[in-house]
Amino acid sequence: MNLEPFSWKEFRLGDLFFTQYGVNLELVNCTPSTSPNSINFVARTSENNGVVARVEPIDGIVPQPAGTITCAAGGSVLSTFVQTRDFYSGRDLYLLLPKTPISIYAKLFCCTIISKNKYRYNYGRQANKTLDDLILKLPAKDWQPDWDYMDLYIRSLHHKPIHTFIPCVIQTLNPFSWEEFMLGDLFSIEKGKRLTKENMFNGPDNYLGAISSNNGVRQKITADFLWVPNCITVNYNGSVGEAFYQSEPFWASDDINILYPKNWTLNKYIGLFIATVIKLERPKYNYGRKWTKSIMETSIIKLPSKNHSPDFDCMERYIKSLPYSDRI
């Protein structure tokens, strides 16, 4: 089911939802518990549906009911979720109660739209006083939110669970057998090429930008020249240090370095292992630092080794031992 952007209208959040604080508990004052009757504790995090712990029930405090939308006004601001179980809420967490009865699927749609406004609260801004006035763009019908359309769209996203035939016996890695290797000794490093928007045309080819998701693929274009796959790409600008194994031909923007193996055979398993290790270098390039080609060539990473050479067989075996590796 496709979304039709031309039928969307702007709505004020406070016109669609009652906003109120939860019970405002402090997790340190609660007792952690794993018992069947324990209660989810929801806080201002962007992970795990907002749940940070399970705690014992507290006398005199009734948990908020399942099906409630929670929205962080501080911390990971605008991290928004539908709670599937009764829960206690921490500080600076709003509850959003629809003024019109809507399905859980429509609520999930709204959670995504609200979360997309996180950028408005960068640099420490809080949403405590402005949440009601947040403008949401939603599918509309007769100038009202089209809740049925949102419901149908989310339902259409359902898919079958992914299965794996790999037993849950992960090969262990011995950290004492790892050694340092210079990227320039392992890889021939090439720089991507600039492609202006005026010269981009929709097509079947992967265009890699300096992003942190979707394996680096920003969009699909038509390109006369493509880099050969079976390599690793690393952002030197933008989301610096994000690394991906590329299995298909691609065009790389000039914010990306392309790493081809020197005198050894790369495959998808080894590529995924090394790309993960390279990503661990990201903190070195915070605060606007660039990982340029010259710096990357002299950068050091640690890898499993054997006889003072990278143990590529070990890397491959490790990735193949992971659950769902048979889906790669």
What does each C-alpha distance from 156 to 8, 48, 144, 159 come to in angstroms?
Answer: 19, 23, 22, 8
198-202, Cβ contacts within 8 angstroms, sequence gap of 24 or more: none
Q: What would the DSSP string read from start to end of 72-131?
A: ESSSSTT-EEE-SS-EEE-TTEEEEEESS---HHHHHHHHHHHHTTGGGG-TT---TTTG
pLDDT, tens digit (0-9, with 9 covering 90-100), for 139-158: 999 999 999 999 999 999 87
Q: Residue 85: phi, psi to the nearest 5? A: -135, 160
State the angle between helix axes of 104-115 and 147-155 in degrees (0 to 180), rounded to the nearest 10: 90
Paired tokens of 266: 């790369």
By C-alpha distance, which of 39, 147, 31, 28 is closest to 83?
A: 39
Range of weakest confidence among 1-10, 172-181, 205-214, 222-231? 1-10
**What pLDDT is stored for residue 158 in this prediction?**
73
**What pLDDT is stored for residue 166 in this prediction?**
81
Q: How far apart are CA 205 and CA 226, in angstroms?
A: 8
Mean pLDDT, rounded, of the chain: 93
64-89 burial, b if ≥16 CB within 10 A, otherwise e?
A: beeebbbbbbbebbbbbbbbeeebbb
What does each C-alpha distance from 42 to 31, 68, 113, 132 come to in angstroms?
Answer: 14, 11, 20, 21
pLDDT at residue 213 is higher than 70: yes
DSSP letter at 67?
Answer: T
Residues in the chain: 328
Paired tokens of 20: 């109120």
The torsion of the CA quartet 285, 50, 153, 221, rounded to 10 degrees, works out to 0
SS3 71: strand
**What pLDDT is stored for residue 205 in this prediction?**
95
Confidence of residue 122 (pLDDT cuts 50, 70, 90): confident
**What pLDDT is stored for residue 19 in this prediction?**
95
User: For 169-193, what is the mean pLDDT?
Assistant: 90
Q: How far apart are CA 141 and CA 160, in angstroms?
A: 31
pLDDT at residue 1 is higher than 70: no
Domains recognised in the chain with CATH numbers: 5-155 (3.90.220.20), 175-327 (3.90.220.20)
Ramachandran category for residue 287: left, alpha or beta (phi over 0 → left; psi -120 to 50 → alpha): left
- Percentage above 70 pLDDT, the chain: 98
User: For 47-56, what is the mean pLDDT?
Assistant: 94
The distance of Cα 195 from the centroid of its chain, to the nearest Å, equals 26
**What pLDDT is stored for residue 286 in this prediction?**
86
